[in-house]
Amino acid sequence: MEMTFRWYGEDDPVTLENIRQIPTMRGIISAIYDVPVGEVWPVERIQKLKDTIEASGLRLSGIESVPVHEDIKMGKPSRDQLIENYKQTLRNLGECGIDMVCYNFMPVFDWTRTDLAYELPDGSNALIFDEEVAKKMDPVNGELSLPGWDSSYTKEEMADIMAEYSKIDDEMLWDNLEYFIKEIIPVAEEAGIKMAIHPDDPPYSIFGLPRIITGKDAVERFLDLYDSPNNGVTLCVGSYASDPKNNTIEILRYALERNRVNFVHARNILLKEGKSFEESAHPSEYGSIDMYEVIKALSDYDWEGPIRPDHGRMIWGETGRPGYGLYDRALGATYLSGLWEALQKDKK
């Protein structure tokens, strides 16, 4: 298991120097954030990012993410050129020695939360999703907005894209995903890159949009689209657990048995009424996920891939990018590493 940390580049208030000082930290998960979606990432930019990270004593362990253009998700005629661009980006990443890429196939919104700084009983604050608040939000009229919404869309553009997605059901989105996967995975195999699709977050339909990477059946169907170790998943335990119907440990062990877990996001959530949830501290006692069982599953399969402590609370007065402060994620990393060490020593 390789402990990693997400870094948002030179503008991130959490510096590589900060990250390097976290015990057991080995790698960085990052991306090039200023190349427009759908365009090719230049080799020079990728190499510069890698060199910067390696100069700090860490490894560029993976990319999160290379975004998938909405035209690909909607199956528009323009998708073929966009997919060719995506393939070239994968080739360029492979040329620079990058071996893992996380991505998602969520329409319009990468993730959905209703409060970025909800105060928890201990005085820290965290991301939460309140089902009732979300039901009152309208992405077209813009009367309310969600953190994480793509602010690059004008009101008119948002109305247009939502209207287009109203004609696309789950099966059509599956068809478009299959088309994409069958095009890119052969290139990923040649480039030596393990692709890792992230689940929908949360894993159910919101605002009438189709969402398909939602649970165990979806993982099985997805892996069957193209049977290759390079076609794998990001096992985000917090995302899958956001749907009370999901057995997250079962999903994890299923994907491990198939050798298709290419990346792990480890964060805990506390399920509330209905489909509402709060993001919590990482240890099991604070949330609804048994984090010991998560790490035990990885240990049982001698898993060697990258894992990162996903999302943290803001604690000790820290401010910054919601969910991506230094302190709580650092605590999460050392907690996860402690579980791993104990489990590894129990094997001997």
pLDDT above 70: residue 127: yes
- Set out the domains of the chain in order of their start, with CATH numbers: 2-347 (3.20.20.150)
Does the active-site annotation cover 236?
yes
Residue of 241, 261, 247, 237 whose CA lies nearest to 217: 247
pLDDT above 80: residue 140: no
pLDDT above 70: residue 321: yes
β-pairing, 59-64 with 100-103? parallel
pLDDT above 80: residue 20: yes
From 86, 102, 240, 265, active-site residue? 265
Q: What is the mean pLDDT of residues 50-74?
A: 96
From 71, 86, 198, 240, active-site residue? 198
From 201, 310, 327, 335, active-site residue? 310
What does the pLDDT look like over 252-302, one tens digit per residue? 999 999 999 999 999 999 999 989 999 999 999 999 999 999 999 999 999
Query: What are φ and ψ of residue 47, in 5° steps?
Result: -65, -40
* Percentage above 90 pLDDT, the chain: 80
Nearby residues of 84 by Cβ (< 8 Å), 6 or more positions away? none
Does the active-site annotation cover 282?
no
What does the pLDDT look like over 210-221, one tens digit per residue? 999 999 999 999
The burial class, CB within 10 Å (0-12 / 13-18 / 19+), for 216 is: middle
What pLDDT is stored for residue 154 in this prediction? 73
From 200, 311, 327, 328, active-site residue? 311
What pLDDT is stored for residue 156 in this prediction? 81
What pLDDT is stored for residue 169 in this prediction? 95
The burial class, CB within 10 Å (0-12 / 13-18 / 19+), for 34 is: exposed
Compute the chain's Rg from CA coordinates. 19
From 236, 243, 282, 286, active-site residue? 236
The pTM of the full predicted model, rounded to 2 decimals, is 0.93
Does the active-site annotation cover 310?
yes
Q: Are 196 and 262 in contact (CB under 8 A)?
A: yes
Does the active-site annotation cover 69?
no
β-pairing, 100-103 with 277-280? unpaired
Does the active-site annotation cover 324?
yes
From 86, 103, 226, 324, active-site residue? 324
* Chain centre to alpha carbon of residue 298: 18
CA 184 to CA 235: how far, in whole Å?
20
> E strands within the chain?
2-6, 27-30, 59-64, 100-103, 115-119, 125-129, 194-197, 231-236, 261-266, 268-271, 277-280, 306-309
Q: Between 90 and 110, name the one with better pLDDT.
A: 90
